[in-house]
Amino acid sequence: MWARSVHDDCIFSEVDWWGRHKDCRSGRKLGRVRDCVWDPPPTGWLKFNVAGVVVEEVVGCGEVLRDEKGVVSALFSGKCGACGVEQVVVMTIKVATEIFIDLMWKVNVPLIVEFELSSVSDWLKY
């Protein structure tokens, strides 16, 4: 598992991030291609995009923290000790929160955490 802070002069655009369309797929066995669009946060906010993946018995997670211009402040990726996709997404949200607190403890910046799993979203509403 790794995490690192990225220098302010390292700017990724959406084209850089999703440069190879074949790497952005959902349901590879079925050949379905998923549209990948990153929506920036409001000006003055930061946004963590988090993902959890379970393939057979291997569980992994990843995150990227960006501002409204797409400037990356932190990256995170690694294997997770979770037993299902819902649990790995919840663990990834927890790690994102911890990284954000560690990086931004001196400033008051609002944060959006974005993920694509409606069951976890429903859990967090209650």
State the pLDDT confidence band at 86, using cuts at 50, 70 and 90: confident
Is 124 within 8 Å of 115 (Cβ atoms)? Answer: no
d(CA 98, CA 100): 5
Identity of residue 18? W
* Domain boundaries, given as residue ranges, for the chain: 2-12+42-125
State the pLDDT confidence band at 9, using cuts at 50, 70 and 90: very low
Q: Is the pLDDT of residue 13 over 50?
A: no
d(CA 52, CA 84): 9
Q: Each residue of 34-66: pLDDT tens digit?
A: 556 788 999 999 898 888 777 777 778 888 889
Topology at the third CATH level for domain 2-12+42-125: Nucleotidyltransferase; domain 5 (3.30.420)
